[in-house]
Structure 1
Amino acid sequence: MTKVHPKVVTSSSSHQQRLFGESETSNADRNLNPVVLTVWKKSLLFSCDGFTVYDSNGNLVFRVDNYAAGNKSEVVLMDASGRSLLTVRRKRASITGNWLVYDGETTVNPRFSVAKHVNFMNAKSIAHVSSTAGSPKKKSVAYEIEGSYAQRCCVVYDDKRRSVAEIKRKEAVGGVAFGGDVFRLVVQPEIDSTVAMGLVVVLDRMFGFRSN
């Protein structure tokens, strides 16, 4: 059976700190190469749906485990040990599909919100991310997401129009192609990997073929 996670072995302690968002002030950290994660649309737990995410060494870094009978409007992104990193919750009375993202397991003072973008003048844009830090009523667009999540081909741009994260198909290994349930998440140093994976979770809720 073809392995889902890659076999490349290149890492450093500062690289891992950046991956988990533990250090964002060092100039060396800002010059790091992109973090390449392999995302598997599958939970490690039986009777659950979710995500399993590996780093370039094949180590588990993120996971999402949703029971089939659980709350379909709330998803928790965890690290490898099961510690809650982000809670993704659908905004009440949202017609177009707006989601709020909170730190940890809290559901007050959202860190940012993600809204499905409906604009026929800009068909490439599928969602925009607004920062709600300080006051949920004062929002500023932090990221714009373009492409197609269904095709696993998306780019996240920051407010300076820099590509900070990308969702792309995983290359075939040994002539065996992966389906849409296995893909890459390429994260640039300008965005935290936890945030980038949080955006993947939101996009899956908005555009995924299967709901958790």
Structure 2
Amino acid sequence: MFDRGVEYKRPINMAAKQGGGMMMMMPIVSKVYCSPNEVVRVVRRRPKVPNGGGFVVTDCGQRVVFKVDGCGILGKKEEMVVKDGEGNDLLLLRRKGAMIEALSLTRQWKGFTRDFLGSNKVVFTLKEPNSCFSNKTPIRISAESTEFGTYRNLEIMGDFQQRSCTIVSSKGDVIAQIGVKEEVEKVMSSMDLYYVRIKAGIDEAFVFGVIAVLDYIYDGSTRC
């Protein structure tokens, strides 16, 4: 598994001009997935399959841009893969060993890409509060690269289960927002369809890797 990943080099701090100014780019997986403009994506949970099917991400034209395979499809608990629209593996998500977590205040998830030598490389860590200690501690995310400054350390604010939350920087800047559109709420009683608004320059593959982990944590469609 995860042997078809695109070859990625070390993330670098890049900028692009937008409206006469400079826009920060944050290529955690790849700069290919950093749009120069704000984008809105739609997440649709796959039909129920045994033990965690995952979800599909589309643009406003209903073109598939990402897919997330849950652990039921992969055949291994606490593991998921983010793929591009063509089905190529981009990001492997794996939870840290339970024995180590038992001694920690947090449960940790790691996001891996393939480096230019073909080895798995950790690009971000998500720290889920251990319910044995506190359920009020925020979920924190850290990018492995130190080049992103303000955007290296992030937090989840709000309630993902209600599809009303944001991913924010250490200074409170919103980089992505998750919510249910009003027109969807009128025809659907579940949370199987929701949108994600992603700020310009932010790595979309990374954002949906984070969302995949949140989906798993809160017993969503990715979970076994």
TM score, norm. by length of structure 1: 0.73
State whether residues 56 and 64 of structure 2, in contact with CA within 8 Å, keep that contact through their aligned partners in structure 1: yes
In structure 1, the residue matched to 2:124 is: 112
| Aligned partner letter, 1:59 | R
Answer yes or no: is the 8 Å Cα contact 2:144–2:152 preserved in 1.
no
Q: Give the aligned partner of residue 5 of structure 1.
A: none
**Alignment partner of 2:177: what SS?**
strand
In 1, Cα distance between equivalents of 2:43 and 2:114: 21
Distance in 2 of aligned mates of 1:49 and 1:121: 29
Is 2:80 the counterpart of 1:72? Answer: no
Corresponding residue to 1:59 among 63, 82, 85: 63
Structure 2: runs of 5+ lacking an equivalent: 1-10, 25-35
- Corresponding letter in the other structure for 1:207: Y
Would you say how many aligned residue pairs link Structure 1 and Structure 2? 184
1:115–1:127 Cα contact (<8 Å) kept? yes
Measured after TM superposition, the shift of residue 83 of structure 1 is: 0.6
Q: Of 160, 174, 183, which aligns to 1:172?
A: 183
Match of 2:199 in 1: 188
Give the TM-score taking structure 2 as reference length.
Answer: 0.69
- Give the match for residue 165 of structure 2: 154
- For residue 43 of structure 2, the aligned residue among 21, 35, 39 is 39
**Mapped pair 1:26 → 2:36:** no
Which amino acid is the alignment partner of residue 210 of structure 2? L
Task: Point out which structure has higher relative CO (alpha carbons under 8 A, 6+ apart).
Answer: 2
Which residue number in structure 2 is paired with residue 92 of structure 1? 97
Cα distance in 2 between the residues matched to 1:40 and 1:90:
23
Pick aligned residue for 1:133 from 145, 169, 186? 145
The residue that corresponds to 1:82 in the other structure is 87
Q: Is the partner of 2:183 in helix, strand or coil? A: coil
Matched residues, percent identical? 27
Residue aligned with 1:68, SS: helix
Mind listing any 5+ residue stretches in structure 1 that lack a counterpart? 1-20, 135-139
Mapped to 2, the partners of 1:74 and 1:82 lie a distance apart of 17
- Contact 1:64 1:75 survives alignment (8 Å): yes
RMSD of the alignment, in Å? 3.4
Look up the match of 1:203: 214
Rounded Cα–Cα distance in structure 1 between residues aligned with 2:160 and 2:184: 22
C-alpha separation in 2, matches of 1:122 and 1:145: 13
Contact 2:145–2:152 under 8 Å retained in 1: no
Cα deviation, residue 170, structure 1: 2.7
